Amino acid sequence: MSIARSGDGAEAADPLAQLARAPLPTVAGTAQSNVAYALMAAGDLAGAERAAKEGLAKSTGMTVLEAQAQAVLAAVHMASGRVQDALAAADTALALPVMGFPRHLDECELIRAEALMAVGRTEDALAAIQAARAHVLGTAASLDDEDRSSYLTQVRASVRILDLAREWLGNV
């Protein structure tokens, strides 16, 4: 878990902002997304949105980083109560061609399902949470026992996806 996601947002933002000015686009883009997470954790949603959009600008042409930046933007929009914007950003992130299934896309699938439910698209939300659960369980099956346990009990998006799947779908 990054510092920015651990709850120490205010303390994390400054050193991450320095990394976001790095000459390497991959470092700058990743750091900028983490600046957005840090600001969101500190309660600065306007600053988090600006940082997420800067991360998106720095990630142009690098689809994995673009997906990460869109995931951050989706999280910021959801935290701001802008459900339609969150849904659009999550859909954009999930549509980008990336190798594997990076962890930030778990969060996008979660946000997408929650946003769909919030706008009353219940059937779509149920399908989205079912797909998200399948991804989480597929990823978990590929891990050794210790990592699997951590992934299923410590990664916020994984835990929330499985909880919502149980709540919305039962034992299906």
pLDDT of residue 13: 57
To the question of pTM greater than 0.95 for the whole model, the response is: no
- Mark out the alpha helices in the chain (DSSP H runs): 9-19, 25-41, 45-58, 63-79, 83-95, 103-118, 122-141, 145-154, 156-169
For residue 128, pLDDT beyond 80: yes
**What pLDDT is recorded for position 8?**
46
Phi, psi of 8 (to 5 degrees): -95, 55
Looking at the predicted structure, is the pLDDT value of residue 7 above 50?
Answer: no
56-90 per-position pLDDT tens digit: 887 888 888 888 889 889 999 999 999 999 999 99
